[in-house]
Amino acid sequence: MDYKLDHIEEIVHFNHEFWLRFVKNHWTKRPLKIENPFSEKITDEATIFSALKEAGKSFKTKEHVNFGLWVDGHTAVNYGRLFAQDSDDNLENYLKRILSSGHDEFCYAQFNMQCYALDLWDAAKDFIKGLIEIVGIPAGELDTDIFLGCYKKTPRGIHTDAAETFMHVIKGPKTIALWPKEYFDDKYVAIAGEGLNKTILVDEIEPYMKDAIILKGNTGDMLYWPASYWHIGLHDYSVEAFDYSLAFNIGYFHFQKEDGIVRDMVNDLFDTLSREHMGATSIKNLLAIPPLEKITQKMLQTIIGSHQFLEELEQNWLKHASGFGFYELPRLCNKNGDTALSYRLRNKNDNVQLKKVGENYFLFTSGYGKIVEWDECLESAIFDLNAGRSTKKLSLEIKSLLLSWHSIVPVDIAKSI
């Protein structure tokens, strides 16, 4: 294919100028490879490995189920033993444990990684903040994902996702083969899925490889490709060499029809409406809407038209916006408030917003929001926090609240007493 790959080979400062140029030349348009752009690594194997252990625990407690596991190219059936365990001492030995049970290939995709390691969330926010300032919070969501394993090609095959993808190669090489949106239009191949999530149903990818745009990333490189591009991950893997690959992806997900804050709220509403005693409809009166459907419609009309619904929508939006557009969030911790501590924001990209919604004041930050008592020190304390300074001017109640929010950590404990 006549395509000149855009390629940057220098340390990149992901500042406003860089992102302006990126949005003009590449964003949603063209793939890009940046060789080793960071003077300091965005993250490392150890951080990811401990996050994967947390993800495995979450699966066991059924809190999160957003992952993909494949052995020998097929979706795994027996998941439990495939997750990283506390007894696995490092990534390499973990993978060796999986393969030692007679498998040649193993592929693990874990989504929502920000839920399992705040360092990964911070790294993603640091990286993407400059872009968000230009293009805005996505109508869908931001997410961080891991692709790990010893496999020759992505088991899902050639596909598109709903995401603009920034792949950080933590352990390479990692190759992504890409084809523009229209490439398969005249190839007479079956396509499964719809919208931005589609998969090409072919047994062999070889016939299409001669036309592929190849993004080959070594350890430390960053690869970007737009949501519209067909792609598949490739790795020259051999069991003997045991050269596993690891990628940390930051995805900017476009709106899909199953997304949306109002949609979530209406779904929740349906869960709370009691409809289990829906009666049968008499065959004598099939042309009339059944009474229970009419009752449901009236209830929804009343609730959705109410100012409480609008206030809740506003709260939910402010939570989402304060979480930078990430939808899946880390759990709150259960720390008790200590009145002697001073506080600062965990991440310089976070912000605390005080907002009156209806009759109540709310604090929003990092995807969470909670009602607070207003007091005269509150505004100046928030000003300090948002300016990156620590503060002691908070009421006991708000200190307790902030301590339970993972994004905010106490500093200078001894000095501030």
Q: Which range touches Fe ion (CB under 5 A), out of 75-83, 111-119, 156-164, 304-312?
A: 156-164
Residue number, 121 or 230, with CB nearest to Fe ion:
230
Q: Which range touches Fe ion (CB under 5 A), out of 71-79, 154-162, 216-224, 303-311?
A: 154-162
C-beta of 163: minimal distance to Fe ion in Å?
8
Which residues pair with residue 248 across a beta bridge? 146, 168
Residue number, 84 or 158, with CB nearest to Fe ion:
158
Q: Which range touches Fe ion (CB under 5 A), out of 161-169, 237-245, 276-284, 381-389?
A: 161-169
CB 134 within 8 A of CB 23: yes
Residue number, 161 or 384, with CB nearest to Fe ion:
161
How many residues bind Fe ion, per CB under 5 A? 1
C-beta of 161: minimal distance to Fe ion in Å?
4
Residue from 141, 143, 145, 161 binding Fe ion (CB under 5 A): 161
Give the strand pairing for 6-8 and 32-34: parallel
Alpha-carbon span 149 to 45, nearest angstrom: 13
Alpha-carbon span 341 to 403, nearest angstrom: 10
C-beta of 117: minimal distance to Fe ion in Å?
22
C-beta of 173: minimal distance to Fe ion in Å?
18
The two tokens of residue 116 are 């399992």
Helix axes 261-272 and 307-322, enclosed angle (nearest 10): 130
DSSP structure string for 160-222: E-SEEEEEEEEES-EEEEEE-TTGGGGS--EEEEETTEEEEE-S--HHHHTTPEEEEE-TT-E
Element holding 56 (H helix, E strand): helix 45-60
Does the footprint of Fe ion cover residue 145 (CB under 5 A)?
no
Between the two ends of the chain, the Cα-to-Cα distance in Å is: 66
CB 375 within 8 A of CB 395: yes
C-beta of 251: minimal distance to Fe ion in Å?
9
Please choose, from the candidates 47, 112, 415, the residue with its C-alpha nearest in 3D space to the C-alpha of residue 251: 112
C-beta of 116: minimal distance to Fe ion in Å?
20
Residue number, 140 or 410, with CB nearest to Fe ion:
140
Helix axes 291-304 and 261-272, enclosed angle (nearest 10): 130
Residue number, 247 or 363, with CB nearest to Fe ion:
247
Residue of minimal Cβ distance to Fe ion: 161
Residue number, 162 or 394, with CB nearest to Fe ion:
162
The two tokens of residue 328 are 């899946």
Residue number, 122 or 161, with CB nearest to Fe ion:
161
C-beta of 231: minimal distance to Fe ion in Å?
6
The two tokens of residue 398 are 């708000």
Q: Which range touches Fe ion (CB under 5 A), out of 95-103, 153-161, 281-289, 361-369?
A: 153-161
Residues 71-90 that bind Fe ion (CB under 5 A): none
Please choose, from the candidates 379, 377, 417, the residue with its C-alpha nearest in 3D space to the C-alpha of residue 393: 377
C-beta of 234: minimal distance to Fe ion in Å?
12
Residue number, 168 or 406, with CB nearest to Fe ion:
168
Using CB under 5 A, list all residues that contact Fe ion: 161
